[in-house]
Structure formats: C-alpha cells, structure tokens
Structure 1
Amino acid sequence: MINSVAPLPPDECEPVPGAGLGALATERGNLPLESVDVTAEVSGLVAGVTVTQCFRNPFDVPLEATYVFPLPDRAAVTAFRMEADGHVVEGVLKERGQARADYDRALTEGRRAAIAEEDRPDVFTIRAGNLVPGERVTVRLTLTSPLPYEDGEATFRFPLVVAPRYIPGAPLDGEQAGDGWAADTDAVPDASRVTPPVLLPGFPSPVRLSLAVAVDPAGLRLREVRSSLHVVVHEGSTVRLAPGERLDRDFVLRLSFDASTALSLVPDADADADAGTGGQGGTFALAVVPEPAPPAAAPKDVVLVLDRSGSMTGWKMVAARRAAARIVDTLTAGDRFAVIAFDDVVEQPGSLGEGLAVATDRNRYRAVEYLARLEARGGTEMLRALERAAALLGDGARERVLVLVTDGQVGDEDRILERAGTGLAGVRVHTVGIDRAVNAGFLGRLAGLGAGRCELVESEDRLDEAMEHIHHRIGAPLVTGLALTGDGLDVVPGSTGRLGSLYPGVPLTVTGRYRGAPSGALVLRGTDAGGRPWERRVAGTRADNPAVRPIWARSRLRDLEDRYAAGDRSLEEEIVSTSLEHGVLCRFTAFVAVDTRVVAEGGPEHRVIQPVEPPSGWEGPAAAPMMLTAMSAPAPVSAPRPAAPGAPPAFGGAGAFPEPAGGAFPASGLPGAPLPGEAVPGDRFPGDAFPDAERVSVPRPPLRGRSAVRPAGSAPAGAEPAGAQDALRTQLTEELRRLREIESLPSAERLRRLSDLGSRLAALAVFLGGHAELEALARELTSAGPAADADALWRRAVQLLEALSGPKGRRPFWKR
C-alpha cells in the first residue's frame, strides 16, 4: 500500500523549546481551548456545578472547535449558553437530529453556533463554530449531581479527562460518526465520538484549569473534607484547586457526613401545567439508612475477573493484583471460587482447574501466587471474560458473586451490558475501577445489573479502604426483594426504577414521581437475611429543593437508555419526551445555541478537535526515532504493524504520533487492517479493530492538499450496526425458534417448556430495567397450571416475541 501525505512547511512547524518530544508550534498558534473553570456548590448530598470552557481562534480564518470531555456520570445537564462579542445566547434543548440540523444551518449561513451532546453517561462533546480570527467564545454548562454516600462518607468526583478506550469489532464503511483516532465498528458504532486525540507526555499545559467547591453541610454533621489526587487550598468553607494543575485525572473530594433516613417531597414549580398529574405533583427523594448489624455469612460461589490489558500498566496493575489478592483472602472454606485474567485472551490458573475450586488454604495460596505473576499486556476483550464468568457461576442455588477489577477503558459498553447482562441475571456484580481517569459510568451501570457495588480506586492509598468496602458487600445483603408503596402519597407507577437490595453501611436512595399534594409517607418492604418480612415506613416532609427533579430525570433517562442499548428500540420516543419535558440532556437530545448575527461567509474554513491530556498514571511510550523525525520533518505514513488487539493509542503532540519502543503500548498503537479515508502526517490509520481511530488519536496539524488511499472496509455502506443493538433481537429470535419446535408436543410438555421460557423472559426483563410486556408474559407462563390452555399460551408467546424481534429501520441516533 502506498500513501501520499503533503508535508508541513518547515517555517510553519518549529519545535517548542523544552516542551517535550512531539510537541509542535505553528505561527498560527496552537490549540483552541484556553481554559476550563469548574465551580461547584455542595449542599448536603447534592452538588450544583457550572462548567465554563473558553475557546480562542488563533488562526486567520473562521474556526470550528470540537472538545470531547467528561462529566460526572450521574449528573443532570440542565442548561447551556454561549457568550461571544458581548452577546449571550441561551441554548435550547432539542431532539438530537434537529439540534444538529440547526447547528449546521447556522454555520452555513455564517452565524456563530455551539452544540452540546452526550455520547456516554460520562462523555460529552461540545462544538463551537464560526469563531472569527482572534475571537474568544465561552460556553457554559449547568448541571446537578447527587453525591454517592456509603459508610459515612460522601464523594464529589469530577472527571477531567477522557482516557483512551479499547474499541473492538469489525469496521463500518461510510461516514464516520466523529473525528477521533478510531473508526466506528459494529461493536462500537459511535466509537469515533468517544476517542479524542491525546497529547504527548511533556507537552506544555495547553489549558488553564480552575476548580472550586463550596461545601454547605445543609444540616448534616460534617466531620472531615479531604482531596485524594490534587493539591488543594482551603479558604473557609471553599476548597480550591492549587494553580498549575492539569486536566489529566479526576478531581476527588471526600466528605465525612452523618446521614439519616428521610423522605423529601418537592412539588413542581410548574405543577399546574404538568400533564397527567391532575394539576399537582412533584418529585420525591427517599434515603433509608440500614442497621449496622451485618448478616451471617453463607457459602457462596465467587468468580474474580482481573483486567491485565495494556492500559493497566504501572501502578494500576500493582493495585489490581493487590485488590484481587485481598478478595481471595476474604473467602472461607465453605466457598468456591475461580480466577479469570484477560487481555486479548481469557485464561485461568491451571493449578485451580477449569471450574470452581473449593476455597481451601492451599487453593487460595495458588490463586494469590498466580495473581502475583500477572503483567499488563494486549487488548481489553472484557466481554469474553464476563461470558466465561457467567458460565462458571451457572444457575446454582448458592449465593453467586462476580468481582471485576479493571480501569473500564472500553468503548463497547452497551454491547457488554447487553450481552453479558442476561447471563449474569441473579449474580451479584461488584466492580473495582482502578484509574485516575476511570470509566465510572460504565462500571456503575455494570454493577447496577447485579445490585452490587462500584468502588473507584484512584490511588494505592485508597485501595485498602475500597477493598474493605467490597469485602463487606461480598456477604449477603441485609434486605432483598424490596418493594415501595405509598401511604397517603400517590406514587407514579414505574417512576422509581429498580430498588435493588439493602447492604450494610450503604443507604438506599430512591427518587420518583408522585401525583397530588406533597403529603403522606412511603412504605418499603422486603425480606431480611433470615427470611423474615422486613418493613420501614418513612413520613414525608415538604421541601424546596430544585435539584431533586433533574436528578430523578437523569436517573430515569439512564434506565431507559440502558434498556434501549439492550435492544428495546420502542423506548426512543419516551426517552426524547422525558428529556425535553424535564429539560435534562441525554444521548437522544442536544443543547444548541445559535447567534442571530452573521460573522463569516460560507462557514468555518478550519476545524480543530481539541486533544486531551494523557491520563495521569498511564505509562507513556519510550522515545523512538519516529518522534525525533516528527519534530523536524513529518515522515510518510505507513500502514501500522500488527499489534495485540486493543492496544492503547500511542500518544502524540500536534502532528506527532510516536512509535513506542516497547513497554505499555505495542508498536502500532492501533491494531487491525486500515480503513478507507484521509490520512495526515503522524496519524494512525483507523483499523478494523479500531474503526473510530480518527476520533481518539493525537491532534492533527492544519494541512492543505493532504490525501491518502486506504483499502476498503468490510462492512457495506450505511449498514445498521450489529453487536449491542441486535443482540436482544437475536436472543428473542432464538426463543422463537424453540417455541416453533415444541408446537406439536403434548400439552403437558409444552406447558413445562413454556414455564421455562417464562423464567428466562423474567430474567431478561430484570436486566432491561423493567419491560411491561415481557414481565406480563413471563408471569402468565410461569404461573400456568396443568389445566391451562397450552395452545393459547403458545400463540401469545409467539405473537409477542415476533413483535419484539422484528426488523427495525430507524437510523442510529448518533448518525442522524
């Protein structure tokens, strides 16, 4: 294969003294994002946050700047504005396709515009277009976020960088969804939107960062405030980031509080206008603090899954091995366990056999000895590891627990949740996220499937505390089978989502909607560890807290989006209407701000995607000849050499993509065959294993007349992505096949098979976060007695599964 790349003129690209290898400067300037300012006000267990991003156009032509950045995964984004040349334009929340059309039209007409979109629960993209030469444009996001509270401590975690993610799957042909270093694949059809370019280590800090958190206990007793990763300055009740900090790791602030059981009833400000509330209604927030007494330990089956991929190099691998060993040490002789390590391959220690081993002292020693020898390498084929774990845990009657230790840096989150989730029905899933820029949104969702705990470890100092929490949760929960009913309070059915279980030291928090007056109580019922009925009644108190409604809306949208990702495409209209009604951004909507003034002709002539910092704690590549070459004159780009699938990308500065000389990053940085499209000096070609590579590799310098030819991709143009979107349909199609095979069996045998189907559909509905039709059919099938009409039940099952597994023709929302 021959690639032709136009070189940069030497006078436009000179090394920056002392800036580090690969860092470049041009006489037009450097990067468009000048500063990020975060101001937060914590009141009790809720944080209100304003994020201000300032962009400057250093070029002599109109510019469009793109920035991919993280936000807290449970935060509700409720407002967006653009400020330029003394004008303030408030953003409007619209359906995503309509917002994009408005943005594109404004740019074509020469008007300034900005758009904010959600790509993952914790990954967002802002584009600001038609910035005129020398101009500064500020965009501002307003969000509300709940603070997770466990074992007497609340955590305010604000992520500051999107780390590189492993992108599996076959490439998709046609237009890419974004501009990252990886191309879209059938497993991650929007991968090019979640993989921003990465700066070389040593690049001068391109962005000024300021962050301040004002803490108001709001009636709670505040004992301690501590920051774990950044240097901070205390100014009264405000914690402020020290100057000079970089956007390369999460900001983590821990607050020691004493919480209590409470129910807040918050009427809607626009209750009279709310449809379906009878002219009055609102949102409630319930917090139940459990008793401290732990339940008696019961024998259990535990599978430990450890990520040993390339992104786990350095302190993360050391911490992961320690965490895994701590989990093994908590097991007793009555337990059975297995250890799985994965990168591009999935393996188990041969000394323990292929199945579950009894947790004897000898077997636990063998497991710890095996863990001590593990080193980071290769890609992140997490799905295969979770499927192996699900097969090992099976359908036994014992308590089943899965513990995943990883940084979570994968791009196919939806596919993993959808495919692994069904197999893990009935399994308690705990996740331990080890990174300074952890993929918290995905790990929280995965733990939510099994009503487990998600523990985030940003440093080795935090590890012991985190593993103590996990140790307590591996035991049985205090209360299971929770159900919520109103006592004088009319709760809107389906508004609370899944309740999960009640664990020692972990308050249960539930938000939902109610109709009518803000008065009455809620009654929580379940079964305790001894099998006895458990009940707690909490009286409501009227409150004036505007944060409760958007927090509920965000939680509701996440539940709906997870079910959509699992294959229920009928939810799109409900997702959009919920987002627009409550004014909370989601993946199906976008905020767009359009100026009325014309400032350019024909739209932006230059486009730049803002590169992000290499995450702190990730071991960068060693110096290599290609890095030195890039500083003097760009070399022709060649096809990447083979590497372990899923290797993290090589870092680079503006126009420089280093070739690592071993260590954490394999030679090519991006595995797989190249895809068609445009190449520039220093770029890695998007490959069949990294189809969105162009969105997540290092930044591209301004070039003119560049061109390249790449081999054609394997997927037909415009093909509907497979993987996560089709797996539910595939499962239901398989159930349909089984149904048709039993049509001629005797009634008694058909009823038995239909009852089995009902149990599988019930588990699937649980995984989806609730599905009224599947749940109704499951109840009917499992409760049918020997005298039931087998023919009628069979026909109803076939009719529903045909409807749910039928073809869907709507274009994916991220490409509209």
Structure 2
Amino acid sequence: MTVQTEATGEHPAAGSGVGTLQTSEGGLPLASLAIHTDITGLAAAVEVVQEFRNSFTVPLAATYVFPLPDRAAVTGLVMQADGRVVRAELRERGEARQVYEEAIASGRRASLAEEDRPDVFSMSVGNILPGERVTIRLSLSQPLPYEDGTAVFRFPLVVAPRYIPGSPLPGPDAGLGVQPDTAAVPDASRISPPILLPGFPDPVTLSLTARIDPAGLPLGPLDCTHPLAQDPSGLVTLGHGQRLDRDFVLRLPYGDRAPEPSAEPVADPVPGLTESLLFTPDAEGDEGTFTLTLLPAVESDPRPKDVVLVLDRSGSMHGWKMVAARRAAARIIDSLHGRDRFAVFSFDHAVETPAGLPQGLADATDRHRFRAVEHLAKIEARGATEMLRPLRDALALLGAPGRDRVLVLVTDGQVGNEDQILAALPPAELDGIRVHTVGIDRAVNAGFLGRLAAYGQGRCELVESEDRLDTAMEQIHHRIAAPILTGLTLRAGEGLEILPETVSPARPASVFPGVPLVLSGRYRGSGSSLSALATGPSWERTFEAVTVASSPATALWARAHLRDLEDGYASDPSPERESRLVATSLRHGVLCRFTAYVAVDSRVVTDGADPHQVIQPVELPQGWETLSLPTPPPMQVAMPAPMAAAPRSRSAVSFDAAPPAPGGYGAPPPAPAAPGGARPLPKQGARPSPRPGGAAPRRSAAPPVPDLTPLFSLELQRLRALSAAPDPVRLAHLTDLVTRLEALAVPALADLLASFPTLPDPLTLWPLLEEALTALTTPTPSAPTTRRPFWKR
C-alpha cells in the first residue's frame, strides 16, 4: 500500500446538504455516490466514488452493501481521508479481513471491499473520526452487451430484498444484514441490508457522468431509464434529484453491426457471419489474452421445438412486474407454431400448470395455446420464491433429445440461494437444452440470471419497465430459434498454445442469430492464429489476430473466468478450486469472492476502542412501494447510540404469503428494536455478540418449524406393510403418498417427488421413498456451533 498527501477542498458540515436524512443520533454514513464512465465502443472504464461521513461524536465504522454490474472487473481501490491517499492491496479474503481488523484495533483508518455475489459487494470503512469524510474510489472495467445494433450500459444502484430459504444456522451471523444466515444461504446476513422505508428523504446524493466515444460509428439517439443532459462533446450527465432505487440503463444505437477495434472483418462461409480476433500480450513474458468475437446476422429458419415456460408468481413480483411477466409469458406462447410442443409452470411455494392441458408437453395448437394464455391472465403474485423445483420439473420434461429444447424462466431473480440452485442444475443435465432468462424488475438480480443463462447457452434479457417489454420479447422470440453453429471449440495455430482451462465460456459454445459470441482465454507463444471448429454443422475457420498493446481484455477475461470458476466451486467446493480462484484473482488483480481489497492508513487516529458500527440502509426498489412492509419503529432507521447494548432488529421487507416462509418473504415482521444498541466490529466474517456476558445475539422470532418425524415414521410403516401387495394397490397408495408428502414441502424429498410424474415405471419410486423416509426418521448428531467464514464453508 502506498500513502501520499493531497490537498483537499472544504466540505460542508457533516450532516448538512440536500438529501441528508437525520435521526436523533446523527446522519446515515453514506453521503454521496458518484459514477464516472468512459464508453469506447463496446467497453467501459468506470470509476465509482463513495463518500462516507461521520456525524456522530465518536469514531465510526460504516458498512455499505451495494451492487455493481455482474460482468464488471473490479481492478483497484483508493481510500482518501484527511489529505491522505491510500492505495489498496488485493489479498486472500481471510487475510484481508485480518489486516482490516488489526488496523481498526490499533486505531488506524482502514477500508475493506468484498464480493458476496457477482453483482453484490460490501464496503467496510472503519475509524472515521467525528466530522470527517472518507472517500472510496473503485476502478472497474466493463464490457457492454451488444445485440441487433444496440449496445447497453447497465449500472445497478440498489440491492433488492431477496427470498432467503432454509433453516437458520446456529451461532453468530456472518454479516450485519436483516436476514439470518441459513443452511441454504449461509451468507444471507451479508446480502440483506436494512431497507429505508418509503416516503422519507433520500440520504444519498447521486451523480453520474458518461463520456461516449462510438469508435468511429454513427451514434443514434440515446435511450435511457433516467433523465439525461448531453453536451456537444459527448458528455452525458444524470439529472438532479435521482434516487438509488433502480438500475441505470443506457442504450446506445451504434448501427447494424458491432464496432470493430481491429482490421476489417473477414467474410465467413456461414452466410452473414463476421469475426474479429484480438491479442493483448502481457507486459512481461510470452503470454497474453485473446478475444475472438463472432457476430452472425439476424436470420433463422425455425425448426420444431419443445419449450417449457417457468413463470415466477412469488410475492416480490407484485404490481407492474406481475403484469409484465404475464404479458411476456403470453408473448412466448403466442409465438409458437403448430409443430412445436410446450408446457407452462407458474410457481411460488407451489407449482401449478394450466388446467385443460395434457400432462407433460402439449402440442402448440390454437386451443392449447388459448388455455395457457387464459391461465396466465389469472395469475397473481403471492408466496415464497421456491425456484429449484419448477426448474428441475422443466428439465425433466425436456429430457428427451431429437428436437430443439428450450427453457424460458421469467422472474425478478430475487433469491438468495443462487449457488444452491446452480449446484442442483449440473451442466450434464443442461446438455442440449438452451436456457433463456427474462429478468423483470428495476433492480433485477442480473448476476444470477446471467449465470443461469450462461449455463444453458441462452440469452438473459432484462426488462426494467413495461415500455421495454415488447422490444425484449421480440429479441427472446428470435433467440428461441435454432442456433447457426453448435459445439464450437478453439484450436491454437502454429507456434501458439492455449493455456489449459482458461477459455471462457468453458463449455463448447453455440452461435445464435443476431447474438455476438465472445470467446476469450489465455495464450502462450509467438504464433498469431486461432481456429474455431463447430460440430453442428461441421465447420472450421482460421483467424489471424490483430495485436493491441493496451486493452482491458485481460481484466475482462479474468472476470469471466473467475465467474466460471465460482460456478464450478458452487457444485464442487474443493480446496483445489479455491486455491485456483485465489491465484487467478491475485495474479490478474481482479476481485472475486475469495479475495478482498484492503486499504490501511499508517497514521493512528483513535485509541483502538471498538468504533460505533452503522450499516447503511438502502432504498426500496422503485415499484415495490405497494408491498406489505413491517410496522416501522418510531424512527425511520434505528441508529444505535454509543456504548449502549441492545439486540438488533431484523426489520425487512415482508410479503403476504401462504404459507409463511421462515427467514424469507412471507414471514411475519419482527418486532422493532428499541432505539440504541451499539454494534461491535465483526471478526473473521462473523459478528460477535454485543450482549453482556458474551451470550449469542437473539434472532428475531420465526414461525415454529413442526416436528414431522412422527408423520414420516407413520408413512414409512405403511410403505413397509404394503411392500408385498399387488402392483395396483401399491401404485394407488404411492400416488396418494406423493400428494401428502408434497403438501409438507420437505426439501429433502422435493427431487424424488418431482420425478414421480415422469418415471416410466412409477413403482420404481417406492424403494427410493422408503430409503429417504428412513433417513428422515433416523436421529443425526447435532451440528457444531463453530462455523468457518461463509466463503470457505
């Protein structure tokens, strides 16, 4: 870390200014957020500036949970305070936390940036002196998606509440959020910041500027979700008074093809396909990064296909999102042809299908499509977001090859158990199935939906308003068509080696009409050519590279590669995968979930006592105001008083749901905490108890979980008693048993029960259920209460 002095301007008095929210204990810690971006063609260099202030009378430790674009590479952090500049180091995450905590304990100013999801991060800034302001500057490199002549710069501004399934874990939580850590989401407390209730002043001043260089192509009128001002030089400025309550989306119409940073594209034997190959060598050695872009024309000859539509109807989809989701789903059904087949699943805590349709895949006749659309028109938002079962049901229907197989998920993606869902959908089950995701929200969980679409080599379309829906669904309609090329792999030319396991995406890729495919990886050697080979249809092409000395290509490749590795770790959390993640992140200077940026000032500014801990509340996403919210405490946000001790509140957004979901949407709101309650600093990813005598902090009351063991024992006895009965008797009993167990919604049985309708011989489920019920009625040792940091569990 390097430290230098810098002249600083005068700031207004702490707690003053437009948009400041005051409580009886002081103002909230985040004073302003500024985003500065330079867009060149299909890449953006972004600086995010967060300014924290301390309006208390004691030193402050502030925590802010915030989003970043899921494909952005975080490549640097600088902390500024009291005329000093500290450049952060990227370290292994546990080591970085230890350095941060030791700095705080020694009275030095410090900051820590951590990634909790591909698009959810946390910033901790400690030992901010009374009246002082600390500025954090994050450096990002971000690719811009480009399709059908338009590039998109999307910057999320708020972390929306997410559904948190699973039973609470014992021991202290890993973070300071409003949801407890659970078995399904062991870091739930790190991704659930408190919500600033609607109708109160915005505590954060937001500014955003974008300088646009279209790289020599004509640029059409900009389309944006927010009011903009644009000057002749190309500088775009966000209008005043905007809140951190929805994603910022800027669309740049470049024309009918992507900007080419290299030589003229080479015509390809496949009609309408153009390509570009760039090499970015490292400063030292004979290695570098390659980026191959294939851009096909928008054209397709549709073949018969099987389509399963999965629609989220959970509580977080309330309002315009449910209306838009119904329209989106209906558009997909209407786009099918008579030779296609389809199925529709709508889900919350249960899964429903349209009445009047045959079981399984129905022919896309006019009558069947009408009944499906009629079913969709009646759907209302309710309940919890149990997403895994309908996805597995959909994959089971699409299991037979022979036709184009497509799964379309329409949701806001607001779930906390992303890793659990992806781990339960291994790539082998998605082989030959294209998964498209349609994210509907003004603060969508783009990271998860993008990962799921990448697993299925599909498209992720994000819809932030009803006005945007028609355009988005037109593009989804095109993508449901057959791919131009499948099974695409790379081969190095003479004198060149593609470094093992560095190509992203890792799976053989497909090329779809109008959708650019970007393949990147690491190379070694002095050669200058790569070949691409496809298996369907048989196709091969050799490309000559153009060398670019300075480019964000390496950082962007590292970010994409780290995401591939993180997805693999979710399925197989081995020490080898963790070591590889850490090594890749540190070598290329790109933040991931296993590393963190830590900045420590060498100057001692406090006596080392625990600073006053405050977590920054976030805005409720725009359009969520009509949801059922907990009864607020007397103040908008309970700001703890120094040196007091009281349990923390878990007041979070709550939705009307039937049945209630413990720890998630639909749970009854907890009682508000009394004002006051100092938070001690979290240690090694888990917050120690502030209660006297070291007792663990109390969790908010959750609905009691009934003991189902007696029921399971009874059902097991019945199974064993009928094991020698005639097949018709056993089948009738099994059919009834499945309905009873489904009503209990036991996660350990969900996959077995979901497979029942698709089994060629339903009685093959009998011994499997007997084995599962035996396991559920066998006592197991209590889980240990000592937990490792969540990112190493």
TM-score (norm 1): 0.75
Match of 1:801 in 2: none
Question: Which residue of 513, 528, 544 maps to 1:504?
Answer: 513
Matches of 1:439 and 1:92 in 2, distance apart?
29
Match of 2:286 in 1: 280
The answer to whether 1:316 aligns with 2:321 is yes
Question: Which residue of 634, 637, 657 maps to 1:630?
Answer: 634
Question: Which residue of 521, 524, 527 maps to 2:532?
Answer: 524
Question: Which residue of 388, 407, 420 maps to 1:402?
Answer: 407
**Paired residues of 2:179 and 2:650 also in contact (CA < 8 A):** no
Matches of 1:660 and 1:411 in 2, distance apart?
15
Matches of 2:581 and 2:655 in 1, distance apart?
47
Quickly say closer, same or farther: Cα 1:172–1:235, change in 2 above 3 A.
same
Quickly say closer, same or farther: Cα 1:255–1:545, change in 2 above 3 A.
farther
Q: How many residues align?
A: 652
Question: Which residue of 496, 499, 502 maps to 1:495?
Answer: 502
The answer to whether 1:149 aligns with 2:125 is no
Match of 2:454 in 1: 448
The answer to whether 1:431 aligns with 2:445 is no
Quickly say closer, same or farther: Cα 1:663–1:25, change in 2 above 3 A.
farther
**Paired residues of 1:661 and 1:667 also in contact (CA < 8 A):** no
AA aligned to 1:265 is: F
Once superposed, what is the RMSD of the aligned Cα atoms? 3.4
**Greater relative contact order (Cα 8 A, min sep 6): structure 1 or 2?**
1
Q: Residue 452 of structure 1: CA displacement?
A: 0.5
Q: Residue 175 of structure 1: CA displacement?
A: 2.0
Matches of 2:416 and 2:77 in 1, distance apart?
26
Matches of 1:454 and 1:241 in 2, distance apart?
26
**Paired residues of 1:655 and 1:682 also in contact (CA < 8 A):** no
The answer to whether 1:244 aligns with 2:241 is yes
Matches of 1:223 and 1:633 in 2, distance apart?
45
Quickly say closer, same or farther: Cα 1:52–1:710, change in 2 above 3 A.
closer
**Paired residues of 1:172 and 1:713 also in contact (CA < 8 A):** no
Match of 1:566 in 2: 571
SS in 2 for 1:192: helix
AA aligned to 2:41 is: G
Q: Residue 27 of structure 1: CA displacement?
A: 3.7
Q: Deviations over 1:188-229 (max 9, x none)?
A: 11111111111111120100000011111223x133242331
Quickly say closer, same or farther: Cα 1:660–1:671, change in 2 above 3 A.
closer
Q: Residue 546 of structure 1: CA displacement?
A: 3.0
The answer to whether 1:388 aligns with 2:393 is yes
Q: Deviations over 1:408-466 (max 9, x none)?
A: 00000000111033543331100000011111110010011110110011111111111
Q: Residue 395 of structure 1: CA displacement?
A: 2.8
The answer to whether 1:298 aligns with 2:303 is yes
Match of 1:223 in 2: 219
SS in 2 for 1:182: coil
AA aligned to 1:814 is: W
The answer to whether 1:482 aligns with 2:492 is no
SS in 1 for 2:619: coil
Quickly say closer, same or farther: Cα 1:377–1:664, change in 2 above 3 A.
same
SS in 1 for 2:416: coil
Matches of 1:193 and 1:118 in 2, distance apart?
10
AA aligned to 1:525 is: L
Match of 2:345 in 1: 340
Matches of 1:386 and 1:86 in 2, distance apart?
54
Matches of 2:22 and 2:488 in 1, distance apart?
60
The answer to whether 1:26 aligns with 2:33 is no
Matches of 2:71 and 2:149 in 1, distance apart?
20
Q: Residue 498 of structure 1: CA displacement?
A: 2.8
Match of 2:279 in 1: 265
**Paired residues of 2:357 and 2:371 also in contact (CA < 8 A):** yes
Q: Residue 605 of structure 1: CA displacement?
A: 3.1
Unaligned 5+ segments in structure 2 are 1-15, 261-274, 639-647, 677-685, 705-785
SS in 1 for 2:585: helix
AA aligned to 1:307 is: D
Q: Deviations over 1:693-715 (max 9, x none)?
A: x99xxxxxxx9x99985599999
Matches of 1:621 and 1:611 in 2, distance apart?
18
**Paired residues of 1:678 and 1:708 also in contact (CA < 8 A):** no
Structural mapping, 1:177-192, within 5 Å:
177-192=174-189
Question: Which residue of 591, 603, 625 maps to 1:619?
Answer: 625
SS in 2 for 1:564: helix
Matches of 2:454 and 2:219 in 1, distance apart?
29
Q: Deviations over 1:628-665 (max 9, x none)?
A: x735999xxxxxxxxxxxxxxxxxxx989599896999
Matches of 2:77 and 2:253 in 1, distance apart?
32
SS in 2 for 1:351: coil
SS in 2 for 1:350: coil
Unaligned 5+ segments in structure 1 are 1-15, 272-278, 635-653, 684-693, 696-702, 716-808
Matches of 1:89 and 1:130 in 2, distance apart?
14
Quickly say closer, same or farther: Cα 1:306–1:662, change in 2 above 3 A.
closer
Quickly say closer, same or farther: Cα 1:474–1:452, change in 2 above 3 A.
same
Structural mapping, 1:31-46, within 5 Å:
31-46=28-43
Match of 2:476 in 1: 470
**Paired residues of 1:97 and 1:813 also in contact (CA < 8 A):** no
Matches of 1:534 and 1:658 in 2, distance apart?
54
Match of 1:213 in 2: 210
AA aligned to 1:595 is: D
Quickly say closer, same or farther: Cα 1:28–1:254, change in 2 above 3 A.
same
**Paired residues of 2:164 and 2:664 also in contact (CA < 8 A):** no
SS in 2 for 1:223: coil
SS in 1 for 2:220: strand
Q: Deviations over 1:214-269 (max 9, x none)?
A: 111223x1332423310111123111100111111111111122325211111112
The answer to whether 1:115 aligns with 2:112 is yes
Which has the higher mean CA deviation after the structures are superposed, 238-247 or 362-371? 238-247
Percent of aligned pairs sharing the same letter:
57
Matches of 1:318 and 1:712 in 2, distance apart?
34
AA aligned to 1:386 is: L
Which has the higher mean CA deviation after the structures are superposed, 104-113 or 482-491? 482-491
Match of 1:374 in 2: 379
Matches of 2:699 and 2:616 in 1, distance apart?
25
**Paired residues of 1:479 and 1:501 also in contact (CA < 8 A):** yes
Quickly say closer, same or farther: Cα 1:407–1:678, change in 2 above 3 A.
closer
**Paired residues of 1:94 and 1:592 also in contact (CA < 8 A):** yes
Q: Residue 493 of structure 1: CA displacement?
A: 2.8
Match of 1:172 in 2: 169
Quickly say closer, same or farther: Cα 1:707–1:572, change in 2 above 3 A.
closer
Quickly say closer, same or farther: Cα 1:86–1:710, change in 2 above 3 A.
closer
Q: Residue 150 of structure 1: CA displacement?
A: 1.2
Q: Residue 470 of structure 1: CA displacement?
A: 0.8
Matches of 1:673 and 1:327 in 2, distance apart?
33
Matches of 1:327 and 1:580 in 2, distance apart?
44
Matches of 2:480 and 2:700 in 1, distance apart?
50
Quickly say closer, same or farther: Cα 1:188–1:222, change in 2 above 3 A.
farther
